[in-house]
A = this chain, B = another copy of it.
Amino acid sequence: MDHTKPRTDPRIVRTRQLLKDAFIDLLEEMEIEKISVNRIAERATINRVTFYLHYRDIPDMMDKMADEMVEDMQRALDESPPIDSDRGDSLILLNLLEHIADNAKFYKVILGSRRTPVFTERMLKMLSDSVKRRIEQFGMNDSMVDAGIQKDVAIWYGSAALIGTIVAWLRNDMPYTPTYLAKQFTMLRAYPQWRSTEGV
């Protein structure tokens, strides 16, 4: 089999980049309901017909952008050092947080927008898969097992807490450094979270 990739035509790269940039641009300015293929093409200075040569429709474009986002995030996670130190867990997350901070404009628009759930959905899936793998590899905390906590509930809880915190962090214009936030995660996991008289 020939795996020499054909090196895509620069025109394709250029067009897709222009379209994606235009989309992010528009998302900053208006609700997604108001964004049409017309507007995207106009903003990208690309003919509308050309849009359809690359994407079936806007949701299809968003799907593909979400694919790329997840790939980037996964790459950031994979670049992390192996877990060996006792602070390994926060270090892994740190790389992800730093990757997000480095591309803050993109992530703030895409994850912070109130009407683009595709992206948060995909990120949630990635993180919960990741949490799941680790739980299956290492098992749960003994005290959790003893207490009768269901594995799937722990996965739902943990991954939702992660992504929700990251999204809130972005929406609030990242008031903490990635390092500081990563430490907060470690502590939130390490300490019981509420007194018995609290909670919703």
Further contacts, 10 of them, CB under 8 A, given A164-B164, A189-B193: A89-B196, A116-B117, A141-B198, A149-B191, A150-B176, A153-B184, A157-B161, A157-B193, A160-B167, A161-B161
Return chain B residues, CB-CB under 8 Å to A41: none
Q: Are the C-beta atoms of B188 and A154 separated by less than 8 Å?
A: yes
Name A's B-contacting residues (CB within 8 A): 31, 33, 57-59, 77, 83, 86-90, 92-93, 96, 114-118, 120-121, 124, 127, 130-131, 134-135, 138, 141, 143-144, 147-150, 152-154, 156-165, 167-169, 172, 175-176, 181, 184-200
Give complex CA distance A127, B77 in Å. Answer: 30
Q: Are the C-beta atoms of B200 and A127 separated by less than 8 Å?
A: yes
Q: Are the C-beta atoms of B193 and A93 separated by less than 8 Å?
A: no
Return chain B residues, CB-CB under 8 Å to A141: 191-195, 198
Q: Are the C-beta atoms of A158 and B160 separated by less than 8 Å?
A: no
Return chain B residues, CB-CB under 8 Å to A31: 59
Report which residue of A88, A135, A149, A196 has the largest number of chain B beta carbons within 10 angstroms of its beta carbon: A196
| 9 A-B interface contacts by CB (under 8 A) | A96-B200, A117-B120, A141-B192, A144-B188, A156-B169, A159-B200, A160-B162, A160-B163, A189-B193
Find the B residue at minimum CB distance from A135: B198
Give complex CA distance A159, B200 in Å. Answer: 9
Q: Which 4 residue pairs across A and B have the least CB separation, nearest first?
A: A160-B164, A89-B199, A161-B161, A156-B168
Give complex CA distance A77, B199 in Å. Answer: 12
Q: Could you tell me the distance in whole angstroms from the C-beta of A8 to the nearest C-beta in chain B?
A: 28
Give complex CA distance A186, B118 in Å. Answer: 30
Q: Are the C-beta atoms of A192 and B194 separated by less than 8 Å?
A: no
Give complex CA distance A96, B33 in Å. Answer: 31
Q: Are the C-beta atoms of A191 and B188 separated by less than 8 Å?
A: no
Q: Are the C-beta atoms of A156 and B165 separated by less than 8 Å?
A: yes
Report which residue of A87, A127, A163, A188 has the largest number of chain B beta carbons within 10 angstroms of its beta carbon: A188
